[in-house]
Structure 1
């Protein structure tokens, strides 16, 4: 089962969770040093468990908690694995506690609004501490999880969760999650994919500026000033290496094109199989003939950062996951979100009367707007992604083309053309299809996704 992103409301409609029990809380506190991710913590044992598919979902083991010190468990495994009759399943059951089934049953005869309001409690977590050696990252304030197998908070999902919370009158939870993200930016330098140690090597679509804007609509301009330091730190994360990157090359999330235009891509610090999808990633790399495995792993991880995992949008041949080339692609959605981040920082700096900051970020936003409209416009009539390695616009038609309209970076005539393309190509009975390719991937036709409909 692949990882995917869901809004809290849509997830709640299919699988809800009860509050985490007090028994799951132990010694790792907010601000304490975190253990390594499970693949590092358990080494060969991790590989053995995931390869043997002890659990049907690869996420189960990395969300499990050890009953002993991991060093002791690994030593016991090394001592016992070669003995006659050794059972890996029995060993795992003896030394690990899998995540508990926390599903809940809603009361009968609820209206849709009653059901959603009722679910907020069931989907809210307070985890100021976590079990020893757990992959869960404690957070200082309560937060909402999507539900089902997603037992932690996710970055870009949270914006859409906040829309529902604000509609339901839970502005306190909106503020709590803004504070949690500011805490993670201060602690880790960025907002990770989710609050798990195995997500720390990447972020997700940077919606934090939209979250701040949402809160400010209810609470006033003080919100921009309060979170301005966090916004600037997040921007610094996405722009690491920009000043030292040669033209025609990339550093981390930054791509500098041959004419000096600076735009961004999705990227991950690591080039190994994902903890939560280990066997799937290994199998994909095996199918990618002629490509180094670590290159495939990096692209798979970068796709997870995009939230569109997986989609023909990132495939070299538009059909097969093994041709994934996400780090070679400059995405239109990411750069639109970063334009919004730049203009939000301008607003915060204006309120603080920091005019040097205003001038600097007005320049950043203007140059990004020029880059988006130069490189991310497809002459067939829509905004799209650009393959910087091949030096050409990609022809994939997806609802990502609507992000420049949402971020107000689209030229007016191009906005109209994009809207017409969406209507003629992507609009189907029931809503917008996520792409024009039916690849069996979840971010492809005929599937539709709630966040993309909201953006549209």
Structure 2
């Protein structure tokens, strides 16, 4: 019977019907009626504080226009979602939040980091506190922060930046009681990553305890069900199909989605689906994740010391030290004088340029006494990879994600704001004057391409082209573009907060025409 034509025909029909039902269900659940969302009250969206360097130009068309984008990105989940959770794919959180684009109704985890930094600079302390309460609410409910506040993102997270967000909020507001009340919740999320995402990596006979992106179920992603099924079915064995699905979910937990960063084999294929089958982040130890974990442990140790819990403080101090040993031994490549992702199978560094290679500068995951050395080494690395010229001037409009053109979003020639932030503020934080100069040059160019794109479309983009000014490769007409992009808005204000008096001044006629 199983070999008959009728059986095969019926199997195809049933499979087709099932896929369409699944896809229809996901699409229906994703279209939450707008009335289930309400805006954050406008009075919480303040103007840029007078004391910041950007005040001088905040009334200009660019900055004042970008500041108004916050209104379009402010959302709040309706009480109906709490009362009738089975009617919605959206998950309830108690307070308002920012989305990346006005057409979205859910927020992303690691993207929130850059949005709250920008919101704090713009004076929205109470709004930021509410956003942090949302993330803490998720940890209390699930043990970790979900990738997004949708039911089908359960068991998926993103780079764990909640501890860093809490530290930033504490620095801005000195709200010590909020920290005291929630440090145990931060501990809970840290425990999730230390237990559920832990991996032992062996190199030259030594074993190091690190973390990696992972996933432990094999069902296709509901939000991309048809794509996952269609790509995975190129593999003949069900076991291989399941493994591919798991690898894809781990890739999206990294925040990078599809990228050559997750490939063992960089051989190009004309068939994009065949290219994506190479995705396998489970085999790699990534620089940015373990740098974030090292910094999280260090920050959590200081938080516990602040509340006089010396036992917990020492515990996380040792965890931070453990990660630092792994970063130094596995990820630092002495020949390249740079941190590189590590291939757990081959036991070797992955000697490819990715902007995330510089993440330890951003997290401070190195010996402070060697700050100048690491800053200078990073500059030399950028010169060798032709990201900048010998005179420290950028060769690209912005920092490309990689130098490999895979035709995937998280590769050349795309520039993502998250990675611009890591590189720019990582270089700036060192004691190398050359690195600080490069940081400013990158920041200046990023603002320039943001400005050109904004003047054409009246919005900011999710990503920008490294080779075409003010462009993101999107062919959508300017009048149809949704307002956004939250991460880019947040980073822009952070850059102006640091260098606004240098990027633009009333007396600088040339720069005022950016």
TM-score (norm: length of structure 2): 0.65
Q: Distance in 1 between matches of 2:27 and 2:34?
A: 7
Q: Distance in 2 between matches of 1:127 and 1:48?
A: 28
CA offset digits 1:197-239 (Å, max 9, x no partner): 1111111011112211211121126154343112101111101
Partner residue of 1:213? Answer: 167
Structure 1 stretch displaced more, 163-172 or 424-433 = 424-433
Deviations 1:182-201 (CA, angstroms, capped at 9, x unpaired): 11101110000000011111
Cα shift readout 1:295-316 (whole Å, capped 9, x = no counterpart): 1111100011000011100012
Q: Relative to 1, partners in 2 of residues 1:183 and 1:315: Cα closer, same or farther, differing over 3 Å?
A: same
**1:274 CA drift (Å):** 0.8
For residues 46 and 166 of structure 1, the distance between their equivalents in structure 2, rounded to whole angstroms, comes to 47
1:263–1:335 contact (8 Å) kept in structure 2: yes
Q: Return the match for 2:310 from 339, 347, 355.
A: 355
Task: Please list, as runs of the form range in 1=range in 2, the aligned pairs for 1:41-190 lying within 5 A after superposition.
Answer: 47-49=19-21, 60-64=27-31, 111-129=61-79, 130=81, 132-148=86-102, 150-190=104-144
The structure 2 residue matched to 1:292, chosen from 240, 247, 262, is 240
Q: Counterpart of 1:309 in 2: which secondary structure?
A: coil
2:102 & 2:114 partners in 1: Cα distance? Answer: 17
Contact 2:258–2:279 (8 Å) recurs in 1: no
Query: Shift of the alpha carbon at 1:157?
Result: 0.5
Question: What does 1:45-444 correspond to in 2, within 5 Å?
Answer: 47-49=19-21, 60-64=27-31, 111-129=61-79, 130=81, 132-148=86-102, 150-220=104-174, 222=176, 223-240=178-195, 252-258=196-202, 259-287=206-234, 292-318=240-266, 319=268, 320-378=275-333, 379-411=335-367, 412=370, 413-425=373-385, 426-427=387-388, 428-444=395-411
Shift of 1:100: 10
Partner of 1:83: none
Query: How far apart, CA to CA, are the structure 1 residues paired with 2:236 and 2:18?
Result: 26
Cα offset, 1:389, TM superposition? 2.6
Unaligned runs of 5+ in 1: 1-42, 66-96, 103-108, 241-251
How far apart are 1:62 and its partner, in Å? 4.2
Moved more, 186-195 or 372-381: 372-381
Counterpart CA distance in 2 for 1:141 and 1:209 is 19
Summarize the Cα distance change of 1:355–1:124 in structure 2 as closer, same or farther, 3 Å threshold: same
- 8 Å CA contact 2:304–2:312 kept in 1: the answer is yes
Aligned mates of 1:355, 1:211 — CA distance in 2: 22
Q: C-alpha offsets along residues 141-160 of structure 1, whole Å, 9 cap, x if unaligned? A: 11111115532011000011
How far 1:415 moved relative to its partner?
4.3
Give the distance between the partners of 1:160 and 1:59, measured in 2 at CA. Answer: 29
Counterparts of 2:305 and 2:19, CA distance in 1: 52
Do 2:37 and 2:105's aligned partners in 1 also have CA atoms closer than 8 Å?
no
Cα deviation digits, residues 269-308 of structure 1 (max 9, x gap): 3222111111222233234577701111111000110000
Counterpart residue number, 2:3 = none
Higher helix share: 2
Greater RCO structure (CA 8 Å; 6+ sep): 2
Contact 2:209 2:326 in 1 (8 A): yes
| Aligned counterparts, 1:437-456, within 5 A | 437-456=404-423
Number of aligned residue pairs: 362
CA distance in 2, matches of 1:281, 1:374: 36
CA distance in 2, matches of 1:188, 1:101: 23
Question: Retained in 1: the 8 A contact 2:356–2:422?
Answer: no
Q: Distance in 2 between matches of 1:154 and 1:397?
A: 26
Structure 1 residues 436 and 288, CA gap change in structure 2 (3 angstroms)? farther
Seen in structure 2, the aligned counterparts of structure 1 residues 356 and 278 have a Cα distance that, compared at 3 Å, is: same
Gaps of 5+ in 2: 1-14, 39-58, 269-274, 389-394, 424-514
Assess if the C-alpha contact under 8 Å between 2:98 and 2:107 holds in 1. Answer: yes
Whole-Å Cα distance in 2 between the matches of residues 141 and 197 of structure 1? Answer: 18
TM-score of the two chains, using structure 1 as the length reference: 0.73
> Structure 1 residue 124: deviation in Å?
1.2
Partner of 1:73: none
